[in-house]
Structure 1
């Protein structure tokens, strides 16, 4: 099976090429990504705990799902695809904002992403993919914010950045 490729972009989110995902992370090159935030009717956020065998940030809590767009795929199409692959359900999504971040990891890889924030609603229980997700839970945004401040080591780098800088874009 061919390795998944990411879309390399400039700071204006214009495609400048494709590269295998692992290579892009080894070189720390800017590429397109998305982060999905799913809320229920009580305005709680669905968090996922990344599977323990993931190549970076294993076991850390983060937003409902995240990944990379495929060539020719919109952020909304990619978000819906990955939401189903990781969490086992679909939802209507809307894009709220995007931002660039760079986060080096202990394993020598670097996330350097232009991340599109997507939000949606879902009532029910996900059917998680255990290859991707170790656990999930609903939390109120204020409780998430307090827990990130008290226990930042329990959360992914991009999730902490989103909460710090783009909290207002998550309010639905």
Structure 2
């Protein structure tokens, strides 16, 4: 599934909600994002984006020190949660603009059913069904420092080698996603675009 549209803007005064899921990926409700991450975080819908430029470089981001989960940790380009009723590609575009000042030229679904659970040393848990998207841009990021403290471009092959050799530490979801991405045929330019029907049910309901 490829993206062809824009993204809605989130009203700064609105409560940001996430979509809660059952074990099969069906929607069972919503919750205030500010309250959902704790020691018993419910399964909810999210996404991860891997932004590439024409030089086959991946944009890495370092999470801000104020982030509730995995502060100061390097990770993939962008992560987030779709609003209730928001198509996933639109959520990707919205967060890329909000966090990094980027406009995408393509947003393609590559891992439609990625799921993970990870626990921090303080007991706070991430628990997400998290489809993964390949994004293309030729822009340079202008990060919001309350979300992203640093950015860097790195060639995909160099990044994979550094992570797999334990020379570079990334967030737990990024490490798991990288293993899944390297199992796809070819490199980032060759990854096959997945169909909307392969998404979890709740994500299909919010995708165009």
TM-score by length of 2: 0.76
CA shift at 1:23, angstroms? 3.6
Unaligned runs of 5+ in 2: 1-12, 190-208
TM-superposed deviation, 1:133: 0.7
Query: Where has structure 1 moved over 3 Å in runs of 4 or more?
Result: 150-153
- My pick for the range that moved more, 3-12 or 116-125, is 3-12
Q: Distance in 2 between matches of 1:106 and 1:85?
A: 29
1:137-161 deviations in Å (ceiling 9; x for gaps): 1111221112213447731111001
1:24 aligns with 2:36: yes
Equivalent residue runs for 1:1-172 within 5 Å: 1=13, 3-26=15-38, 27-91=40-104, 92-97=106-111, 98-151=113-166, 154-169=169-184, 171-172=188-189
Answer whether contact 1:88 1:126 (CA < 8 A) is retained. yes
In 2, distance between residues paired with 1:117 and 1:167? 13
The SS at the match of 1:123 is: coil
User: Cα RMSD between the aligned structures?
Assistant: 1.8
Residue 134 (structure 1) shift: 0.7
Asked if the contact 1:37–1:65 (Cα under 8 Å) also holds between the matched residues in 2, the reply is yes
Of the two, which has the highest radius of gyration? 2
Q: Distance in 2 between matches of 1:24 and 1:130?
A: 23
Displacement of 1:120 in angstroms is 1.5
Count residues with an aligned counterpart: 172
| TM-score, normalised by the number of residues in structure 1 | 0.91
